[in-house]
Structure 1
Amino acid sequence: MEAEPLLTLARWLSPSYPTGGFNFSGGLETAVAEGQTGPEGLEAWLAGLLAHGGPRNDAIFLHLAHRAAPGELAALAERAEAMAISAERLAEMRQQGAAFAATTHAARGLDLPDLPYPLAVGRAARLAGLPATPAAALFLQSLASNLVQAALRLMPLGQTRGAGIVERLAPLCARLAEETATAGLDDLGTAAFAADIASLRHEVLEPRMFRS
């Protein structure tokens, strides 16, 4: 990619973009509270979530939104929301998508409707003439980075160790972005059962720091 498109995607998916990613743990807070994962198991937990959980669906939806006709977006949004495993996951997708759409419209003037977050990113990339696969890779890496940042508040992980986890997950993010580039609705699904259950149980977790 040329520098300017790459920088655009990096801005959209950076921690400074006001999508509120720091508010959400994707069920990780429950997993830590219940002793399912910790500093030693965090990398495996995140790798499993990326490869077999909601983030893989997110990458598929991002690609689908990138190549969809405008009239197909509403049906895609309905399917994406139906795939949300929990009420918190649904709220996360909606709130981050709305924040992304509002900020990107204000900053770049794109005619971007409120959509679930991965659809909003995919559609924005299409409208801005940016390629979908790098957008999906950066989307997944951003998600992994946000979860590591959540872990830093939940366990004795340390910044250096956390950065190493994100570094080692980068090839997986790139591979998933490539693999989902031609995926369709029939390829949606999850098998990250522990993470899904943790997301559901977070709705009644007390006390808690995160919104999911």
Structure 2
Amino acid sequence: MLTTTNSDAAARSAEQAALYRLMTWLSPAFPVGAFSYSSGIEWAVEAGDVIDAATLRDWLAAMLGHGSGFCDAVLLAQAHRAASGHDHAALRDIAELACALVPSRERHLEATAQGRAFVEIARAAWPCDPLDGALAACAGLTAYPVVVGVVSAAHRVPLAATLHGFLHAVVSNWISAGSRLIPLGQTDSQRLIAALEPDVIATGARALIASLDDLGSATFRADLAGMRHEAQYTRLFRS
């Protein structure tokens, strides 16, 4: 007969708590203001680069695998590892690099404003002593992927789960922006989430084994979209 020990029960309870927190933090309902940003997709629609579900899927797959999606995933993974190992010097360097790599003013606002809101709400709802030291090492540099990695590490949420949950949340927000701009119906939006599943999994797997030396983007049109959005005449989104 199998018996459940107290340690098994405690481990299972810790896993369930970590999953609960991760689902909450990366839910569209978590108030970081993600719905206000399109990551340049609004300009891509205006310019005619994205006109339907198929072109949006291609645009997002490129952003995931060769642009900000992959870069953010690498930064998250490195921040999670540095915070888990209490390597505050490395964490400071990662936080600085994440802010320096953002290619436009509005994308910088998108990353730092969401990161700041994420930290403030997570600390208020889930106080955690190890988190304070890690955040102090970041010296107020609050790029969203970095602070998601730091907060998750402080609460001992596993890296792989955090990474894939983060990428799912990012893709979902991109699709939500696209659905309002093109526009798309709810069914097409869910089909896009399903179609991008292999891209999310592949990007997460690459990020788990990547180093900071692997950071780099080849999505020049998406970077230009973020810059040109700043001067777009009419717009719904902040980036």
Q: State the TM-score, normalizing by the size of structure 1.
A: 0.95
Distance change >3 Å, CA 45–CA 138, structure 1 → 2: same
Judge conservation of contact 1:134–1:177 (CA < 8 Å) in 2.
no
| Post-superposition offset of 1:82 | 1.1
Aligned residue in 2 for 1:90: 108
| Post-superposition offset of 1:152 | 1.6
1:32-181 correspondence to structure 2 within 5 Å: 32-39=45-52, 40-68=54-82, 69-110=87-128, 111-112=131-132, 113=135, 114=140, 115-181=142-208
Aligned residue in 1 for 2:4: none
2:92 aligned partner, one-letter code: A
Judge conservation of contact 1:29–1:202 (CA < 8 Å) in 2.
yes
Aligned residue in 1 for 2:220: 193
Deviations 1:1-38 (A, max 9, x none): 94332222111101011111100000000000010112
Cα distance in 2 for partners of 1:104, 1:46 equals 28
Cα distance in 2 for partners of 1:156, 1:78 equals 37
Cα distance in 2 for partners of 1:137, 1:78 equals 23
Deviations 1:108-143 (A, max 9, x none): 013353421000010111100111111111111111
Cα distance in 2 for partners of 1:174, 1:8 equals 21
Aligned residue in 2 for 1:14: 27
Cα distance in 2 for partners of 1:187, 1:133 equals 18
Structure exhibiting the larger radius of gyration computed from Cα positions? 2
Cα distance in 2 for partners of 1:124, 1:102 equals 11
Q: Share of identical aligned residues, percent?
A: 39
Deviations 1:45-77 (A, max 9, x none): 111111111111100000010111123222211
Q: Which moved more, 1:176-185 or 1:134-143?
A: 176-185
Pair 1:26 & 2:39 matched: yes
Deviations 1:120-173 (A, max 9, x none): 010111100111111111111111111111112111311110011012212221
1:42 aligned partner, one-letter code: L
Q: Which runs of 5+ in 1 are unaligned?
A: none
Cα distance in 1 for partners of 2:89, 2:63 equals 31
Number of positions where the alignment pairs a residue of Structure 1 with one of Structure 2 = 212
Q: Which runs of 5+ in 2 are unaligned?
A: 1-11
